[in-house]
Amino acid sequence: MVNKSTIKLLSEHGLKITPQRIAILDVIMALNCHPTADVICDHLRINHPHISIGTIYKTLDAFLSKGIIEKVLTESDTARYDRVHDKHHHLYCAETERVEDYFDDHLYQMVNDYLRKKRIKNFKMKDFKIQITGKFSD
User: Sign of the C-alpha dihedral, residues 120, 61, 23, 96?
Assistant: negative
Percent of the chain residues past pLDDT 90, beyond the cut: 46
Residues 66, 59 contacting (CB under 8 angstroms): no
Residues 127, 111 contacting (CB under 8 angstroms): no
Residue 136 CA to residue 107 CA, distance in Å, equals: 20
pTM: 0.77
The pLDDT of residue 17 is above 60: yes
| CA angle centred on 49, ends 44 and 51, rounded to 5° | 70
Let me know if 96 is exposed, middle or buried by CB neighbors in 10 A (0-12, 13-18, 19+): exposed
pLDDT tens across 49-71, in order? 899 999 999 999 999 999 999 88
The pLDDT of residue 1 is above 60: no
Q: Work out the pLDDT band at 118, boundaries 50, 70, 90.
A: confident
Residue-averaged pLDDT of the chain: 88
Q: What is the mean pLDDT of the segment spanning 79-83?
A: 87
